[in-house]
Every structure is written in C-alpha cells, then in structure tokens.
Amino acid sequence: MKTAIYPGSFDPLTFGHLDIIERSSKIVDKLVIGVLNNSAKKSLFSLEERVSMIKEMTTSLPNVEVGSFEGLLVDYMKEINATIIIRGLRAVTDFEYELQIAQANSVQNSDIETIFLTTNLNYSYLSSTIVKEFASYGGDISKFVPEQFIDRIYAKYNITKNTR
C-alpha cells in the first residue's frame, strides 16, 4: 500500500490545493494531508481551523486523511508510514526551492520519492498569500476558495459587509 503525504501550510486551503488533492488521491492508495504547525510563522488560521477546513472539503474522498505535524517532514512520514511526498508546481519560481527540499529529503531517507504535480492552468496564479492579500482589502475571493470559507476569511480581517 502506497501512502503519500501532501504537506503544506494551507493557510487557508485554496482551489489550487484542492485540485492537487483530488488528482493525487487518484494515483496513490492513501493520501495524508499534513498541515504544518510552524510556530515561527504567524498564520491567519489556527492549526485546528486549518485541519477542520480541509476535512470539511475532503469528506467525499475516502482515501484522504488530514493530519498535522511539527518539525521534520521525514520524521512525520516515518510515523504514518508514508514514502511519497506530493507537491504542486506552479511556476519556475517554485522549482528551485522544491528541488532542493526534495533532494534533501531523499538524502535523509532514500526510500522517499517526491512527486510533483503541475498546477491546473486555472489556478497557476493562486496561492494562500494572494487570497489573504485580496481578502484583507475586502476583495473578491470567490474564485480562489470554496464558498463556505469566504466569510470566515473576511472575519479574520474584521470585514463583515457583503463585498461579494
């Protein structure tokens, strides 16, 4: 049984992430979405909120689980018996960093393979940072995130008026 991990901050989950989740869940036996608890980086949503938002959107995918980790990804992978890392590639700007991390992880544990999925053309511009940037000014984020997240994201910026 091939277990893969899709690690990330998911702060918040976007349509770009969901596309990678749906596509990668079809090519592995089990997919664990690993939400990074990075205490050094201030996140908009708490770890618990990020985990529950992802769970909400993945209930229809039977081989997908949501977990969280702190520290080294390779250590978490041992814990959950995963040997594959899924990452999404949007533009060349992602490439250099991703290549380095993939190679470093493989040096740590040679059983680990990183699989890169190219972004869906519709979401190649999309990142959690873009969502936060637009939301903080009350901009339209309906093409970026699932509808049920919109008010929750605006609420983080104390925006209550309906700007959609």
Q: Which listed residue (23, 68, 78, 90) is catalytic?
A: 90
Nearest to 27 by CA among 146, 149, 113: 113
Phi, psi dihedrals of residue 27, rounded to the nearest 5° = -110, -5
The Cα angle at residue 36 between residues 58 and 156, in degrees rounded to 5? 75
Q: Give the CA diameter of the chain.
A: 52
Residue placing its CB nearer to ligand ADP in the complex, 98 or 162: 98
Catalytic residue among 50, 87, 128, 132: 128
In the bound state with ligand ADP, the residue whose beta carbon lies nearer, of 1 and 121, is 121
Q: Can you read off the two tokens belonging to residue 18?
A: 């969901």
Q: Active-site residue among 9, 17, 24, 43?
A: 17
* 12 interacts with ligand ADP by CB under 6 A: no
DSSP 160: -
Question: Taking contact as CB under 6 A, which single stretch among the options 48-56, 74-82, 85-93, 137-145 is the one that binds ligand ADP?
Answer: 85-93
Would you tell me how many other CB atoms lie within 10 Å of the CB of residue 86? 25
Residues 97-156 that bind ligand ADP (CB under 6 A): 119, 123, 126-128
Tell me: does residue 16 bind ligand ADP (CB under 6 A).
yes
Q: Answer yes or no: 164 catalytic.
A: no
Active-site annotation, residues:
17, 41, 90, 128
